[in-house]
Structures are given as C-alpha cells and as structure tokens.
C-alpha cells in the first residue's frame, strides 16, 4: 500500500472524528503542514506515528495499512437483502460491526450471546 492511500484513509478517519488538520496536528505534536503532507502522501508515516494516529482516531492500525477493499463493508447480495426483509437496521448493524476492530467485535458478540441467554 502506498503513502497516498494511507494518507486518504488518514484524512477520512480524521474527518469522521470531526477533527480539523490543526486539531489533530496539535494532538500529535506536529505542524499542520506535516499532517497535510501525510494526508497527501507526500511524507512518510512511521509506525510509531501511525500507532498514535490510530489511537487518537479510535481506528485499528490495520484500517490504515490494509487495502481499501478490506476497509469497506462487504456489499450485499440479493440473497442477503431477501434474508433481511423489512429490517434494514440489521444491515446497519452488520456494517457497523464490520467497521469495529476485531477485539471490539468479540465484545459485541459476547454481549449479544449474554442477551440471548437472558431471554
């Protein structure tokens, strides 16, 4: 994966977090222009910097380094749409779960199992 793709993901994650470049740069202890260069893929991000960014933006480090196809939820098939029927919130739940880091998905699954046993 190239610096430009990592930079695009960094920008997207920053915007999703509702932060400006200046705000994130201050949190990272770098200049806004440095962050801008990271986002444009003009400057190399080292692992320690990427770890700090991932922590601040609450994203797994894999979000930034895996190919873009794996960072997006899978598309639905007609079979899935039929199975979901009139419950579009289930698709929303699936997409939200997909965006979580694996350890958090496991926690959600544990909670669902616990809720099911209470019924």
CATH number at residue 31: 1.10.260.40
- Mean residue pLDDT across the chain: 83
- Interior angle at CA 9, CA 8 and CA 12, nearest 5: 90
Mean of pLDDT values over 13-39: 95
Question: Which candidate, 80, 104, 103, places its Cα nearest to that of 90?
Answer: 80
Same domain, 56 and 89: no
**How would residue 71 be classed by pLDDT, with cut points 50, 70 and 90?**
very low
Domain extent for 40: 3-71
Question: pLDDT exceeding 90 applies to what percent of the chain?
Answer: 36
What pLDDT is attached to residue 92?
Answer: 76
Same domain, 9 and 56: yes
Same domain, 19 and 39: yes
Same domain, 7 and 57: yes
Q: With 70 as the cut, is the pLDDT of residue 91 above it?
A: yes
Most confident range (mean pLDDT) of 19-28, 55-64, 110-119 is 19-28
Q: With 80 as the cut, is the pLDDT of residue 82 above it?
A: no
What pLDDT is attached to residue 72?
Answer: 52
- CA count, 13 A, side-chain hemisphere, 97: 15
Same domain, 49 and 28: yes
Question: Which candidate, 41, 40, 13, 42, places its Cα nearest to that of 27?
Answer: 13
Residues 6+ apart with CB under 8 A from 71: 9, 63
Same domain, 9 and 66: yes
**How would residue 70 be classed by pLDDT, with cut points 50, 70 and 90?**
very low
Question: What is the number of structural domains in the chain?
Answer: 2
Taking the CA atoms of residue 40, residue 102, residue 96 and residue 25 in that order, the dihedral angle to the nearest 10 degrees is -30
Between 63 and 25, residue with greater pLDDT: 25
């Amino acid at each position: 994966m190239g610096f430009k793709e990592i930079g695009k993901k960094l920008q997207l994650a920053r915007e999703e977090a509702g932060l400006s470049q200046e705000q994130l740069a201050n949190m990272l202890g770098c200049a806004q222009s440095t962050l801008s260069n990271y986002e444009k893929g003009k400057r190399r991000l080292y692992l320690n910097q990427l770890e700090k960014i991932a922590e601040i933006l609450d994203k797994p480090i894999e979000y930034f380094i895996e190919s873009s196809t794996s960072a997006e939820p899978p598309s639905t098939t007609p079979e899935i749409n039929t199975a979901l029927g009139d419950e579009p919130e289930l698709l929303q739940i699936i997409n939200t779960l997909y965006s979580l880091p694996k350890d958090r998905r496991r926690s959600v699954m544990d909670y669902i199992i616990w809720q099911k046993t209470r019924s």
